[in-house]
Amino acid sequence: MHMRTNIIMSIGLAALLVACGQGETPAPDKAGAGVVNLYTARHYDTDAALYARFTEQTGVQVNVIEGNADQLIARITSEGAASPADLFVTADAGALWRAQNANLLQPVTSEVLTAAIPANLRDPEGRWYGLNRRARIIAYDSTKVQPADIDTYEEIASPRFRGKLCVRSADSVYNLSLVGALIEAWGPERTGAWTRGVVANMARPPEGGDRDQIRAVNAGVCEIALTNSYYYIRMANSDDAADRDVTTRVKLAFPSLDGQGAHVNISGGGVAANAPNRANAIRLLEFLASPEAQTMVSAGNNEFPASPNVPAPPPTDAYANFKAHPMSVATYGPRQAEAQSLMSAAGWR
């Protein structure tokens, strides 16, 4: 599995680097026939293979500009109406909303996209579409914690886990979106109490990324940690024996929000407001929503396909049989400011 995936990724990456001139400012193709300028906050080998595959199928060259979501949003804003950006791709619905809120994305109506992507995983006005899902769930020390102890999000903040929780910082968009979802479900008062419980339960000040939280559970620093599902799955199937060993003791739990399922988020994309190659941007977005592309991303990056009609491939399939909350991911972004305020008031730094 690892060798085959690595070969596919390597071939795709090599082809992309030849074709795309990665890192250079792309020039629009005025004819709109042979190029698409992709601004992406995703930086995985799997994505490089995807773009090479798209070029192979369509002949359209993918020019890739990389950065984190906020950097790319600032860049597109500064470029103004003359921006060469055609398609913006990033992780987390909250980050997509930031681009939407800055008027950097345009509505797109596509039968291909609406058929492939469920309504709760896309913007109601078509400004962005989810392409793959990830769940924000709990990694736990299986020698100290029972699954029944963490089958709801409320329990993360319960006295049972005083001083036993590891979590990354409040400015992580993953945490902002989770708290935004809780506000949507519970309202600010109950969610504020939850954030105070989270702070009381912290085993240490927030630091590092999701894999650091998982490793901290294994090291005995804490008993539970918030993480995105794909980080854990990636560690469980890593070529690094040390990472695989971590998941011998540390297991993954999918808590439920109000009995409706685990909180899910997306990776997704939208067509830039001033896209000079709009038709090709839509073609690339439709390709990224295709069963082939969703399967490639799931196999390589261990996210879950957005479409319920696309089965998760190995090794992601071993974790895919969970109930996902039906809440629209479009609700997370508008709640970010309120989420940040509640977390700051609670002392979540």
> Which pLDDT score, from 0 to 100, does residue 46 have?
84
CB-based contact 134:175 (threshold 8 Å): no
| pLDDT confidence bin for 2, thresholds 50/70/90 | very low
Lowest mean pLDDT among 24-38, 114-128, 161-175, 208-222: 24-38
The pTM of the full predicted model, rounded to 2 decimals, is 0.88
> Which pLDDT score, from 0 to 100, does residue 288 have?
97
Q: What is the mean pLDDT of residues 172-199?
A: 98
> Which pLDDT score, from 0 to 100, does residue 43 have?
84
> Which pLDDT score, from 0 to 100, does residue 326 have?
98
Residue 8 has pLDDT above 90, yes or no: no
**Strands 304-305 and 264-271: what pairing?**
unpaired
> Which pLDDT score, from 0 to 100, does residue 45 have?
79
**Strands 87-91 and 35-40: what pairing?**
parallel
What does each C-alpha distance from 336 to 55, 132, 330 come to in angstroms? 36, 21, 11
CB-based contact 223:145 (threshold 8 Å): yes
Query: What whole-number distance in Å separates Cα of residue 306 and Cα of residue 196?
Result: 33
What structural domains and CATH numbers belong to the chain? 2-133+265-319 (3.40.190.10), 135-262+329-344 (3.40.190.10)
pLDDT tens-digit readout, 88-136: 999 999 999 999 999 999 999 999 999 999 999 999 999 999 999 999 9
CB-based contact 326:35 (threshold 8 Å): no
Helices 229-236 and 241-249 meet at what angle, rounded to 10? 120
> Which pLDDT score, from 0 to 100, does residue 247 have?
98
Cis omega (within 30 of 0) on the bond before 315? yes
What is the 3-state secondary structure of the chain?
CHHHHHHHHHHHHHHHHHHHCCCCCCCCCCCCCCEEEEEECCCCHHHHHHHHHHHHHHCCEEEEEECCHHHHHHHHHHHHHHCCCCEEEEECHHHHHHHHHCCCECCCCCHHHHHHCCHHHECCCCCCEEEEEEEEEEEEECCCCCHHHHCECHHHHCHHHCCCEECCCCCCHHHHHHHHHHHHHHCHHHHHHHHHHHHHHECCCCCCCHHHHHHHHHCCCCCEEEEEHHHHHHHHCCCCHHHHHHHHHEEEECCECCCCCECEEEEEEEEECCCCCHHHHHHHHHHHCCHHHHHHHHHHHCCEECCCCCCCCCCHHHHCCCCECCCCHHHCHHHHHHHHHHHHHHCCC
Residue 3 has pLDDT above 70, yes or no: no
40 φ/ψ angles, rounded to the nearest 5 degrees: -130, 140
More confident residue, 26 or 180: 180
Binding-site sequence positions: 43, 230-231
Residue 33 has pLDDT above 70, yes or no: no
pLDDT tens-digit readout, 135-152: 999 999 999 999 999 999
pLDDT tens-digit readout, 275-287: 999 999 999 999 9
Residue 27 has pLDDT above 50, yes or no: no
Q: Which of 48, 38, 53, 60 is nearest to 14 (CA)?
A: 48
pLDDT tens-digit readout, 60-93: 999 999 999 999 999 999 999 999 999 999 999 9
Binding-site sequence positions for Fe cation: 43, 230-231
> Which pLDDT score, from 0 to 100, does residue 13 have?
33
Residue 295 has pLDDT above 80, yes or no: yes
| pLDDT confidence bin for 47, thresholds 50/70/90 | confident
CB-based contact 250:217 (threshold 8 Å): yes
